[in-house]
Amino acid sequence: MFMGSWIPRLSESKKRWSSWCGDKITIENDHSQRPFTVESSGYGSILLRDISGEGLVFLQQQLFAVKRTWKVYIGEKRDKNSCLYTFKRLGRKSFGVFLASSNRKGNPDFIVQKERIHDRNFDVYYKDTEKKSIVEAKQAKGEKKLKVTIQAGVDLAFVATLIVLMDR
């Protein structure tokens, strides 16, 4: 995976109000490079590719879950043994990331907190501490781009998947 202390910011833009179907999300860094491409089938599955076209992570929506839930797998397809984490809605403005390797049942390893329900801004916190965010995503008024600031040592592919999932 990509560890990114050398890329402090990513930006994300979408071509219309909802990016549910098709390739609508563009993720780029400050140098206008696109380290990730997003491929969506529109049927609850998304593939995130790196700059060379290799499939990094596969996102699969759990269609019959009570709360909005996505499973994230390493590689280009769904495989039980390659599950990285589960992304689940916890409340109206909060989401949880449950790592597959974690033994913390019921307690998320990361909390994703939106500022307002219909807003694109969000922060990511490690475990139960809401003292300092490890990722901040902000959209300025009148801007189409979402500016994402990432703390050193945070995996860029992890952040890119959160950007895509929060856009759903």
pLDDT tens per residue across span 83-135: 999 999 999 899 999 999 887 777 899 999 998 877 889 999 998 666 788 99
CA 146 to each of CA 3, 65, 153: distance values in angstroms, whole numbers, following the listed order? 21, 28, 21
CATH of 9-166, one of 3.40.50.150, 3.60.20.10, 3.50.50.60, 2.40.160.200: 2.40.160.200
Q: Give the span between the Cα atoms of 10 and 12, in whole angstroms.
A: 7
Closest CA to 161 of 7, 42, 8, 10: 10
Strands 36-40 and 45-50: antiparallel
Domain boundaries in the chain?
9-166
Give SS3 for 162.
Answer: helix
User: Is the whole-model pTM more than 0.95?
Assistant: no
Each residue of 125-157: pLDDT tens digit? Answer: 998 666 788 999 888 787 777 888 888 888 888
What's the rounded Cα separation, in Å, for the pair 156 and 154? Answer: 6
| Rounded distance between C-alpha atoms, residue 13 and residue 144, angstroms | 6
**Minimal CA–CA distance to 124: which of 165, 94, 86?**
94
pLDDT digits (tens, 9 = 90+) for 24-80: 566 777 777 778 888 887 678 899 988 888 999 999 998 877 778 999 999 988 888
Q: What is the pLDDT of residue 17?
A: 44
* Sequence-distant contacts of 88-92: CB under 8 A, at least 24 apart: 92/117
Binning pLDDT at 50, 70 and 90, where does residue 13 land? low
